[in-house]
Chain A
Amino acid sequence: MKTFIYNFRYFIKESIDIFRLNLISNIFSLLSTGLIFFVLTLIIAGWNISSSVTEAIKGESEISVYFQEGLTESKIIDLTNSITNVRGVESVNLVNEDEAYGRMEKVLGDDAQVLSFFEDNPFDAFLEVGIELTEIESIVDQISQMAYVDLVRDNKEVLDRLSHMSDVLNLVSYLALTAVGITTLVIMSHIIRQGIYHHREQINTLELLGAPKYFIALPFYIEGISMTLIGGLLSLVLSHFVINEIYIQVSGPLPFIPMPNQGIVMQNLIIVILGLSLVLGFFGSAFGVSSSRYKE
């Protein structure tokens, strides 16, 4: 430890010298690492956002219950009470014809003028039922069999699709992570091996002078870890702009999509990408150092 502290500046200077010795090649490797991490960052961001959106939608799961036309107010109250008693139902809210019309106006936005072509309000009143998503099938089944119920509309299909998309992104993320991991390990170990090859005489001299193995290897580890960390930072900077643009594009025209907080998404990405850079840099360097033969 004492040797490490005494020689900290030397190790940093050595690792810079190792980087500079093969400057162009190392710069290209750095850019490649940055771009590889950039792809990974986007995939992880997509996975993170889609998971959050799916979870948010699942948390707000609702079904719409349409009842027979002309039902009296007391029967609507009876139906509401019966639905409330079904296991898994969290809330029941009556949406009358006017409110249904208003909601559609909001959804259509500028295109809402199309509704003026109708002489009468085309929308029926319905019951908006908040549910636990895990109970959806039994709830729909029970409500469908109730008296006066015409139709139960659920969004299960949409939720299933979202879940499926999230699962696919999950799988893609793991595959990308594996691919990026292997690629980074190969690139780093290659760079380190090159560095060791170019410094073989120096390494051999240090060995003859009695330098411990860690003393010889440390600059190479610093080089490898620094390169992956810089690559990771580069990818985060690029991703910041891209994700910012995606949020602008999505939150404007599609305000109903419950996007997670952008700051939290970036914060998670910073932790994951820098952590990965550190780990991959370390193991890439370790592989490079251990697989090198620098004996003259």
Chain B
Amino acid sequence: MIEAHDLELIYNDGTVAVKPFDITIGAGELVYITGASGSGKTSLLKLLIGSEYPTGGTLNILGEPIKKGNSKSIHKIRHKIGPIFQEFRLIKGKTSMDNVKLGMRFIGMTPSQIEEEARLVLIKVGLEDKLNIKVDNLSWGECQRVAIARAVARKPSLILADEPTGNLDRNNAIKMLELLGSFRTKETAVIMTTHATHLIEGHAHATYIHMDRGRVNIERQGKSY
């Protein structure tokens, strides 16, 4: 699913965001990217979604190389990725349903499939009574669930979540991790960044990518799904 060899990212201003490392992530894996703020977690996630290009080494996602000038492949890959952004990136003025449906409109689903899938996923994340409420009127936590629903409804091969526990208290953070973990299947890998290491320690069958000022340390526990 993801193959990186000597993968490196250096920004134009010379900042080394990700130092060279190798990794292979298979289908159905659960991967936590941990580290303090500024350690390079989000930069790595940006590489995985194709919004940054490797400045060194190679990166293949779902069989397509991520490199500059390969925007067609990147668009293709993005259809199979369910991203959950740190700031959610929901469309203001639109309802929860509209936001979830928006992510599915260009991946070949029919209008009835889109409608049905959006409804089901919103119900699954506990927003059955907020389907037609504008996201402007939802709480922070509810918005996060809409963002998760939008990512998951696309039936992606890879779910990428950026700091999903960021603003949550301990109990809600655990619930959020459980919810995201529940979307991991044989076909779907879940990769999330978090600095709440105390909540994920000792989790069986997970891969941990610890980051420290761009340096990557990989630790695997158990097997994939």
Q: Which residues of A contact B (CB under 8 A)?
A: 2-3, 6-7, 10, 17, 201-202, 204-206, 208-212, 215
**Would you give the shortest CB distance from B114 to chain A, in whole angstroms?**
8
**What 1/0 mask marks residues of chain B from 84 to 118 whose CB sits below 8 Å from any chain A CB?**
01000101010000000011011111110010000
Q: Describe B's contact surface by its main secondary structure.
A: loop
Contact B75 A202 (CB under 8 A): no
Q: Describe A's contact surface by its main secondary structure.
A: helix
Residues of B within 8 A of A206 (CB): 102
Residue from the list A17, A201, A204, A215 in contact with B106, Cβ < 8 A: A215
Q: Select from chain B the residue with minimum beta-carbon distance to A10.
A: B105
User: Can you list 29 pairs linking A and B with CB atoms under 8 Å apart?
Assistant: A2-B108, A3-B106, A3-B108, A6-B105, A6-B109, A6-B111, A6-B114, A7-B105, A7-B111, A201-B89, A202-B91, A205-B89, A205-B91, A208-B49, A208-B51, A208-B78, A208-B85, A208-B89, A209-B78, A209-B83, A209-B154, A210-B77, A210-B78, A210-B79, A210-B81, A210-B107, A211-B106, A212-B75, A215-B105
Contact B111 A209 (CB under 8 A): no
Asked if B76 is an interface residue, CB under 8 A from chain A, the answer is yes
Residue from the list A2, A10, A17, A210 in contact with B75, Cβ < 8 A: A210
Residues of A within 8 A of B93 (CB): 17
Q: Which residues of B contact A (CB under 8 A)?
A: 49, 51, 75-79, 81, 83, 85, 89, 91, 93, 102-103, 105-111, 114, 154
Q: In the bound complex, how far is the Cα of B107 from the Cα of A82, in angstroms?
A: 85
Q: Select from chain B the residue with minimum beta-carbon distance to A214.
A: B106
Q: Select from chain B the residue with minimum beta-carbon distance to A2.
A: B108
- Name which of A17, A204, A210 has the most chain B CB atoms within 10 A of its CB: A210
- Name which of A6, A17, A206, A209 has the most chain B CB atoms within 10 A of its CB: A209
Q: In the bound complex, how far is the Cα of B95 from the Cα of A99, in angstroms?
A: 84
Residues of A within 8 A of B106 (CB): 3, 7, 210-212, 215
Q: Select from chain A the residue with minimum beta-carbon distance to B46.
A: A208
Q: Select from chain A the residue with minimum beta-carbon distance to B83.
A: A208
Residue from the list B103, B110, B114 in contact with A209, Cβ < 8 A: B103
> Top 10 A-B pairs ranked by shortest CB distance?
A210-B78, A205-B89, A210-B79, A215-B106, A211-B106, A202-B91, A209-B103, A210-B75, A7-B105, A6-B111
Residues of B within 8 A of A215 (CB): 105-106
Q: In the bound complex, how far is the Cα of B89 from the Cα of A206, in angstroms?
A: 10
Contact A6 B78 (CB under 8 A): no
**Would you give the shortest CB distance from A152 to chain B, in whole angstroms?**
77
Contact A3 B105 (CB under 8 A): yes
- Name which of A204, A208, A212 has the most chain B CB atoms within 10 A of its CB: A208
Q: In the bound complex, how far is the Cα of B79 from the Cα of A210, in angstroms?
A: 5
Residues of B within 8 A of A208 (CB): 49, 51, 78, 83, 85, 89
Residues of B within 8 A of A205 (CB): 85, 89, 91
Residues of A within 8 A of B51 (CB): 208
Q: In the bound complex, how far is the Cα of B180 from the Cα of A243, in angstroms?
A: 68
**Would you give the shortest CB distance from B147 to chain A, in whole angstroms?**
10
Contact A6 B75 (CB under 8 A): no
**Would you give the shortest CB distance from B44 to chain A, in whole angstroms?**
16
Contact A210 B105 (CB under 8 A): no
**Would you give the shortest CB distance from A206 to chain B, in whole angstroms?**
7
**Would you give the shortest CB distance from B204 to chain A, in whole angstroms?**
32
Residues of B within 8 A of A201 (CB): 89, 91
Q: In the bound complex, how far is the Cα of B114 from the Cα of A266, in angstroms?
A: 46
Contact B89 A210 (CB under 8 A): no
Q: In the bound complex, how far is the Cα of B81 from the Cα of A211, in angstroms?
A: 12
Given contacts A210-B77, A212-B75, 6 further A-B contacts (CB under 8 A): A2-B108, A7-B106, A201-B89, A205-B85, A210-B75, A215-B106
**Would you give the shortest CB distance from A13 to chain B, in whole angstroms?**
9
Q: In the bound complex, how far is the Cα of B88 from the Cα of A14, in angstroms?
A: 21
**Would you give the shortest CB distance from A293 to chain B, in whole angstroms?**
16
Residues of B within 8 A of A212 (CB): 75, 106
Q: In the bound complex, how far is the Cα of B118 from the Cα of A10, in angstroms?
A: 15
Q: Select from chain B the residue with minimum beta-carbon distance to A210.
A: B78
